């Protein structure tokens, strides 16, 4: 857990809270409620559909927060490049992309400023059966490692990967990529949860993650600030 790539990351920034709520005002209320317990926020497709997505992005940055734009850009390379170039001026810290080598190359070449491009490997909601349905005959870990290698070769800054595969990425690629890990469950997974490839906070960092993304365990807690504070304590213990 002493990867060179992660040494410059402030411990409290390693927790990214997923603002997966339907309305902007609900998102802002959560941010205000969480206060200093969370400094990094992920905003995705659900909030995009409000029509006020970029107003929220600006608001978060004005609040002194970091923003992870999780829109998983996937289109012809030039279109993705144009989107990433425009987003680079927004103040966002991370942006996700899908796609083949040409898309990843285009995004990496187009980014500027402080924006970092993260390639999605395999969604944490997918298991072996889901990959079979999608036509992937390889093992999940093989797929993730292949995607990570290609992301590095194409100039991406990091990958989004389950903590279950983070170990293999670190073994193969060392400290050359940031690893952002969703599917974090500090407590036992609920039957209705759509995340399948999950790990705990300590497992994620032990396996090589630089950041973790946590949503429902904080959002749906009786006290979201207490839940966030508890996770921050677990993170601090990992890097003590």
DSSP string, the chain: ---GGGTTS-GGGSEEEE---S-HHHHHHHHHHHGGG--EEEE-HHHHTTT-HHHHHHHHHHTT-EEEEEEEE-S-HHHHHHHHHHHTTTT-SEEEE-S-HHHHHHHHHH--TT-EEEEE-S-TT--HHHHHHHT--S-HHHHHHHHHHHHHHHT-SEEE--HHHHHHHHHHHTTSSEEEE--B-SSPPPTT----S-B-HHHHHHTT-SEEEE-HHHHTSSSHHHHHHHHHHHHHHHT-
Q: Name the active-site residue from 72, 111, 116, 176.
A: 72
Contact, 39 vs 210, CB < 8 A? no
pLDDT in tens, 29-56: 999 999 999 999 999 999 999 999 999 9
Contacts 24+ apart (CB under 8 A), 82-90: 82/110, 84/110, 84/111, 84/115, 84/117, 85/110, 85/111, 85/112, 87/115, 88/112, 88/113, 88/115, 89/113, 90/54, 90/57, 90/58, 90/61, 90/115
**Nearest residue to 30 via CA among 196, 219, 240:** 219
pLDDT band for position 144 (cuts 50, 70, 90): confident
pLDDT in tens, 59-81: 999 999 999 999 999 999 999 99
Q: Which domains does the chain have, with CATH numbers?
A: 4-238 (3.20.20.70)
Residue 65 falls in the annotated catalytic set: no
pLDDT band for position 2 (cuts 50, 70, 90): very low
pLDDT band for position 7 (cuts 50, 70, 90): low
pTM to 2 decimal places: 0.88
Please give the pLDDT value at position 124: 52
Please give the pLDDT value at position 87: 98
- The per-residue pLDDT of the chain, averaged, comes to 88
Question: CA 65, 215, 234: angle at the middle one, nearest 5?
Answer: 80
d(CA 91, CA 135): 37
pLDDT in tens, 154-199: 999 999 998 888 999 999 999 999 999 998 866 444 444 444 447 8
Mean pLDDT of 201-218: 95
Please give the pLDDT value at position 194: 45
Mean pLDDT of 101-112: 97
With 70 as the cut, is the pLDDT of residue 224 above it? Answer: yes
């Amino acid at each position: 857990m002493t990867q060179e790539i992660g040494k410059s990351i402030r411990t409290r920034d390693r927790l990214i809270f997923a603002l997966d709520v339907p309305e902007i005002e609900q998102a802002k209320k959560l941010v205000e409620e969480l206060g200093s317990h969370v400094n990094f926020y992920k905003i995705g497709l659900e909030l995009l559909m409000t029509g006020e997505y970029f107003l929220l992005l600006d608001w978060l940055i004005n609040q002194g927060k970091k923003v992870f734009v999780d829109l998983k850009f996937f289109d012809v390379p030039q279109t993705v490049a144009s989107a990433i170039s425009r987003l680079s001026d927004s103040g966002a810290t991370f942006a996700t992309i899908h796609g083949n080598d040409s898309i990843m190359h285009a995004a990496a070449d187009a980014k500027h400023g402080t924006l970092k491009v993260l390639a999605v490997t395999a969604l944490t909601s997918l298991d072996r059966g889901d990959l079979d349905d999608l036509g992937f005959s390889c093992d999940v870990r093989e797929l993730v490692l292949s995607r990570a290698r290609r992301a590095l070769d194409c100039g991406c800054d990091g990958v989004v990967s389950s903590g279950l595969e983070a170990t293999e990425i670190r073994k193969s690629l060392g400290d050359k990529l940031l690893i952002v890990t969703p599917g974090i469950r500090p407590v036992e997974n609920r039957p209705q949860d759509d995340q399948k490839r999950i790990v705990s906070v300590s497992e994620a960092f032990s396996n090589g993650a630089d950041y973790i993304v946590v949503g429902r365990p904080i959002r749906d807690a009786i006290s979201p600030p207490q839940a966030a504070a508890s996770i921050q304590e677990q993170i601090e213990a990992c890097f003590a």
